[in-house]
Amino acid sequence: MLHPSHQLRFINPVIGYGVFATEPIPKGTIVGFVDSLDIKILPKTYERLNDKVRAIIEHFVYIDKEGDGILAWDNEKYINHSCDSNALVTPYHLSIAAHDIAKNEEITIDYTLNDAYLDIHKEGEGLSCQCGSPNCRKIINNLDIDSYLPIFISRLNEALTCSLQVKQPLFDFMDTKEKNELIKAFQNHSDCSKIMLEFLKKRSSNFHKKWNRILS
């Protein structure tokens, strides 16, 4: 589920739609989380789909820790990639604002961290990127994730330290248990590198276990 202060806007025919902040979203705010209405795409479901439907699914789906595809039921699926994204994936089934997001700024995420699907690409393959950031990597895949990971983790650590000091509108949409566990994780937060590495390792291994036969 996506932060309520957003609007879906058409950008151009190449990029299509994007999600824009309608109010300032401070650093550390939860921008989106996996909720029970999101649609799980299991390998056996995907196998039964025809190529046209598969193409749509592949465009919008991301892979969760269990290695299954997740299709967001709301506008969260329209969040575009940026090599200098203002939101970051965390190991807590949610993404947070990496810095203060201004009103009318497009909310972006780095697909490198968001999608184990990118693991399957070889050198020079992946999603081509025209995000316009000075650090644009041009081809997005997970081959060189190790070189970016320390930067992601340091940005994430910094943003997570703000998470209990800012308003969290999405807390109102979580069940009490989920919300309390998150508050505890934020309170105990100091360095999420270990949990982030475990999360990425588990997701990648589950993804390969479940999807290699189908996608190879």
Q: Which stretch binds Zn ion (CB under 5 A): 48-56, 122-130, 151-159, 163-171?
A: 122-130
2 vs 109, beta carbon nearer Zn ion: 109
Interface residue with Zn ion among 39, 57, 71, 136 (CB under 5 A) is 136
Q: Which stretch binds Zn ion (CB under 5 A): 30-38, 98-106, 125-133, 146-154?
A: 125-133
Q: What CA–CA distance (Å, rounded) separates 4 from 171?
A: 11
**In the 3-class helix/strand/coil scheme, how is the chain assigned residue by residue?**
CECCCEEEEEEECCCEEEEEECCCECCCCEEEECCCCCEEECHHHHHCCCHHHHHHHHHHCEECCCCCEEECCCHHHHCEECCCCCEEECCCCEEEECCCECCCCECEECHHHHCHHHHHCCCCCCEECCCCCCCCCCEECCCCHHHHHHHHHHHHHHHHCCCCCCCCHHHHHCCHHHHHHHHHHHHCCCCCHHHHHHHHHHHHHHHHHHHHHHHC
Shortest distance, position 139 Cβ to Zn ion, whole Å: 9
Shortest distance, position 47 Cβ to Zn ion, whole Å: 32
57 vs 127, beta carbon nearer Zn ion: 127
Shortest distance, position 145 Cβ to Zn ion, whole Å: 15
89 vs 160, beta carbon nearer Zn ion: 89
Q: Which of residues 82-101 bind Zn ion (CB under 5 A)?
A: 83
Tell me if 131 contacts Zn ion by CB under 5 A. yes
Task: Please tell me the count of residues contacting Zn ion according to CB under 5 A.
Answer: 4
Shortest distance, position 136 Cβ to Zn ion, whole Å: 3
71 vs 129, beta carbon nearer Zn ion: 129
Backbone angles phi, psi at 141, to 5 degrees: -150, 180
Interface residue with Zn ion among 57, 127, 129, 143 (CB under 5 A) is 129
Binding site for Zn ion (CB under 5 A): 83, 129, 131, 136
